[in-house]
Amino acid sequence: MPRARATASRRARLLAVGAIFGLGTAVAACSDGHVVASDSQQLYLKVPSSWTVFSQKALAQDGAFGSLFTSRPIFATFASADPHARPGDAFTPSLYPWAIVVVRPLSGTEQSEMSLNGLRDVLMNIDSLQTQGSNVQPLASPALLKNGSLHGTLVAYELQGSQGGPAMAYEQETWVNSATDKVWVLMSGCSPSCFQAEGPVINRVMQSFLVLDRGVHDN
Partner 1 sequence: MTTSPDRGPGSTREARWRGRARATVAAAALSAILAWLLAGCSTSVDYVGTASQGVFFKVPNTWDVFDGATLKRLGLAVAATANAQATASGTSYPVYVIMAAAGRGVIVKGSPNFFGPQPWALANVVSFGASDQAGISLVGLNDLLFPIDQWQQDGLSVQQIGNTILIVRGALRGSRVTFEAQTPSGTLGFEQVALINSPTNKAWDLAVGCSLACFQAHRRVLDSIVKSFTVTVRGT
Are 63 and 50 in contact by the 8 Å Cβ rule? The answer is no
Specify the residue, 47 or 183, whose C-beta has the smaller distance to partner 1: 183
Residues 126 to 155: which contact partner 1 by CB under 8 A? 142, 144, 146, 148-151
- CB nearer to partner 1: give 70 or 219: 219
What CA–CA distances, in Å, run from 182 to 39, 102, 111, 128, 185? Answer: 16, 11, 9, 21, 10
To the nearest whole angstrom, how small is the minimum distance from the Cβ of residue 2 to partner 1? 15
Instruction: Find the DSSP H helices in 160-218.
Output: 192-197, 199-208
* CB crowding 10-38: b at 16 or more within 10 Å, else e: eeeeeeeeeeebeebeeebeeeebebbbb
Contact pattern for partner 1 over residues 64 through 93, marking x by CB under 8 A: ------------------------------
Which position among 61, 115, 128, 162 is part of the footprint of partner 1 (CB under 8 A)?
115
Determine, following the binding rule CB under 8 A, whether residue 32 of this chain makes contact with partner 1: no
Binding residues for partner 1, rule: CB under 8 A, are 111-118, 142, 144, 146, 148-151, 178-180, 215-219
